[in-house]
Structure 1
Amino acid sequence: MRRARPPRTSRFVYYIPVLRGRTRDNPAGVIRRRSVNGIAVDEAFTRNLVWEPTHALHASDIGRSDRDYTQITAAEAEAFVQRVTAKLGRYITEPSPGVPLRINIDDATAHEGPSYHYRGEPFSGSLLRIDDTGAVIEMIPVRDGVVHGIVREWFPDSTQRSQTTMRDGVPAGTAYTWHPNGQLAEAREFDDDGHVVRTRQWTENGRVLRFPL
């Protein structure tokens, strides 16, 4: 009997989104495309530090209209992957036995509390909120179903948007929010019960907005 041939694959072609203020040397993200039996298969390198499926190129009709994405070389793509891995690798923690280290938040079930469950069990690991381009815009650490650790958010261009420390579901210490240009926008201090005791705010130019009592 004749053996079935394995799917034919071609080399990857890499693309980056066209965004104001971003360059080929500092892209907001990278998507790679390959052809499997004549069908385009796309993956984006996300803050999960792996290549994950994405439909961003299909949505932009890449190949017919390159208005939203531009092609780059494999070397440029690899440089981006190395930078992201070096930047985010320090946030990786060991997964709980039998539970994925990171999952899409849409795959988790939120119960009262809230308490996050995955496959019927309290989840331990990181919940990822992913935008339409395949980029992770929020990472939520969870322990035994409860948010615990540093919650981080990013703008679509990978600039950090916010950072909040959570202890067993309660905010602690000081939470920070940034403007898109990187200027600190707000600092909120919490007491031991998670109540805000002080808030400071700044404009995009660094001017103080208010110092409430």
Structure 2
Amino acid sequence: MRVDADDVEDDGGLVFYQGEPFTGEVVEQGPDGSLATLYTYDTGAEDGPYREWYPDDRPYKEGTMRMGLPVGLHRRWHPNGVVAEETLFGDHADHLGHRKWDENGNLLVDTMPPTP
């Protein structure tokens, strides 16, 4: 099920729809009707992929949540479309590494673990 962000209530980190913990996608649209945000929930908690876009449909950020905690690779982009940050989380939301770039794509920080 997909519902609009205006139709859910956030109560201390859990999302409710019509008084019940929500399972499905919550979306928000920009002024032109394009998708601005998409978050996935299971029994009220963020669980699954999320994405946000700049007003011109370019990606702003994305990642995956599991029972309200970040897992896997999360990314954020600069307004010009260049990747700004990547953060890697383990299966239990443990922070494994981080990369950061400037708007020209120059790597500024790299604490990512080596790839096998």
TM-score past 0.5 threshold: yes
Match of 2:105 in 1: 206
**Runs of 5+ unmatched residues, structure 1:** 1-100
CA RMSD of aligned residues (A): 1.6
Match of 2:62 in 1: 163
Which letter maps to 2:7? Answer: D
Whether 1:153 aligns to 2:60 is no
Distance (whole Å) between structure 2 residues aligned to residue 115 and residue 138 of structure 1: 17
Distance (whole Å) between structure 1 residues aligned to residue 53 and residue 35 of structure 2: 8
Distance (whole Å) between structure 1 residues aligned to residue 54 and residue 95 of structure 2: 24
Moved over 4 A (4+): none
| CA deviation vs aligned residue, 1:74-98 (integer Å, no higher than 9, x gap) | xxxxxxxxxxxxxxxxxxxxxxxxx
* Larger Rg belongs to: 1
Whether 1:192 aligns to 2:91 is yes
Shift, 1:181, TM fit: 2.6
Match of 1:131 in 2: 30
Shift, 1:109, TM fit: 1.0
Which letter maps to 1:168? Answer: M
Higher-helix-fraction structure:
1
Picking from 42, 48, 53, the partner of 1:143 is: 42
Match of 2:3 in 1: 103
Match of 1:179 in 2: 78
**Runs of 5+ unmatched residues, structure 2:** none
Distance (whole Å) between structure 1 residues aligned to residue 30 and residue 36 of structure 2: 7
- Report the identity percentage: 34
Distance (whole Å) between structure 2 residues aligned to residue 123 and residue 189 of structure 1: 27
Q: Normalising by structure 2, what TM-score?
A: 0.86
Which letter maps to 1:192? Answer: D
Structure number with greater CO (CA < 8 Å, separation at least 6) is 2
